[in-house]
Amino acid sequence: MKRGLFITTEGTDGSGKTTQIKLIESYLKGKGFEVVVTREPGGTSIGEKIRSIILDTENSDMAYITEMMLYASARAQLVNELIKPSLSEGKVVICDRFIDSSYVYQGFGRNIDIELIERVNRIALDGIMPDVTLFFDIDPEVALERRIQSTGADRIEREAMDFHRKVYNGYKKLASMYPDRIKAIESNRNIEEIFSDVKAYLDKFS
Ligand code: TYD
């Protein structure tokens, strides 16, 4: 049977991915595809437990390597339990964040060697890579300003800007290294304009 399509979404925090995923899901369902939506870290009950360990603010002394390997562990479970079986049933899988998040957050953000991340994740991925990666491209400062206008200023978020900038630059770099897989979508626009670009791009694959 024909293998399904594996789509991942990426972007810095507040890039509007979640809204676009909902639109993509209903668009592809409307075209008659069976669509599975999942997210990282998490997506399986074991993965969600790993997620709560990673994101627990009490674990602030977690070593960066531990964190990187926990993301990879949650990924291994998701690949095994959900992504591989769904693709072999011919379904479309949309995953909110995947391997590129580890490259940019743990690699570019935390300075872990990219090759090390690649080696660890080669085990987790078990031969699976996204067919299409949508990178919702918005400058992190612009995204923060938008959030401040709707939710009020946040000192912590401002302090984290240096990190978000590194992550953002990492995405830009990956997008230029893998233009066949990663599509940057200009995301400093309204929801409809962004989605119209997404749709036009996905129509090439579906
Ligand atoms: P989440 O609340 O799901 O953020 P978002 O809605 O922006 O996707 O939290 C996930 C956080 O985990 C996010 O800040 C990115 C980070 N992350 C990594 O650092 N490495 C990874 O491999 C993955 C999948 C996520």
CATH number (domain holding residue 72): 3.40.50.300
Q: How many residues does the chain have?
A: 206
Of the candidates 31, 35, 34, the residue with the CA atom closest to the CA atom of residue 21: 35
Bridge partner residues of 7 (DSSP): 94, 132
| Between 156 and 21, the higher pLDDT residue | 21
Report angle CA 43, 65, 170 to the nearest 5 degrees: 75
So what's the pLDDT on residue 148?
A: 78
Of the candidates 158, 121, 120, 124, the residue with the CA atom closest to the CA atom of residue 141: 158
DSSP string, 72-122: HHHHHHHIIIIIHHHHHTT-EEEEES-HHHIIIIIIIIT---HHHHHHHHH
Whole-angstrom distance, CA of residue 185 vs CA of residue 178: 14
Whole-angstrom distance, CA of residue 133 vs CA of residue 183: 6
Residue nearest to atom 12 of ligand 1 (CA): 41
Whole-angstrom distance, CA of residue 37 vs CA of residue 83: 10
For residue 149, what are its two tokens?
């206008």
Q: Which residues contact 122 (CB under 8 A, 6 or more apart)?
A: none
Residue nearest to atom 13 of ligand 1 (CA): 13
**Is 34's pLDDT higher than 70?**
yes
**Is 121's pLDDT higher than 80?**
yes
Whole-angstrom distance, CA of residue 145 vs CA of residue 186: 17
So what's the pLDDT on residue 185?
A: 98
**Is 194's pLDDT higher than 70?**
yes
So what's the pLDDT on residue 42?
A: 96
**Is 154's pLDDT higher than 70?**
no
So what's the pLDDT on residue 77?
A: 98
For 46-97, what is each residue's pLDDT tens digit?
A: 999 999 999 999 999 999 999 999 999 999 999 999 999 999 999 999 999 9
Domain range for 59 is 5-205
Ligand 1: residue of 66, 105, 147, 156 to mutate (most ligand atoms within 8 A of CB) is: 105
User: Looking at the whole model, is its pTM more than 0.75?
Assistant: yes
Q: How far is the CA of 85 from the centre of ligand 1 (A)?
A: 24
97 close to ligand 1 (CB < 6 Angstrom): yes
40 close to ligand 1 (CB < 6 Angstrom): yes
Whole-angstrom distance, CA of residue 205 vs CA of residue 2: 13
137 close to ligand 1 (CB < 6 Angstrom): no
**Is 203's pLDDT higher than 80?**
yes
Q: How far is the CA of 40 from the centre of ligand 1 (A)?
A: 7
For residue 133, what are its two tokens?
């990666």
Task: Give, rounded to a whole angstrom, the gap between the first and last alpha carbons of the chain.
Answer: 16
Contact between 40 and 50 under an 8 Å Cβ cutoff? The reply is no
**Is 153's pLDDT higher than 70?**
no
**Is 156's pLDDT higher than 80?**
no
Identify the weakest region by mean pLDDT among 51-55, 98-102, 113-117, 146-150: 146-150
Number of domains composing the chain: 1
Determine the atom of ligand 1 nearest the C-alpha atom of 109. 19
> Which helix (H) or strand (E) is 47 found in, with range?
helix 45-55
So what's the pLDDT on residue 126?
A: 96
DSSP string, 8-25: EEE-STTSSHHHHHHHHH
Q: How far is the CA of 192 from the centre of ligand 1 (A)?
A: 25
| Between 16 and 27, the higher pLDDT residue | 27
Identify the weakest region by mean pLDDT among 12-16, 17-21, 151-155, 195-199: 151-155
Ligand 1: residue of 97, 120, 135, 174 to mutate (most ligand atoms within 8 A of CB) is: 97
For residue 155, what are its two tokens?
């000192």
So what's the pLDDT on residue 14?
A: 83
Q: How far is the CA of 2 from the centre of ligand 1 (A)?
A: 31
Ligand 1: residue of 18, 79, 101, 166 to mutate (most ligand atoms within 8 A of CB) is: 101
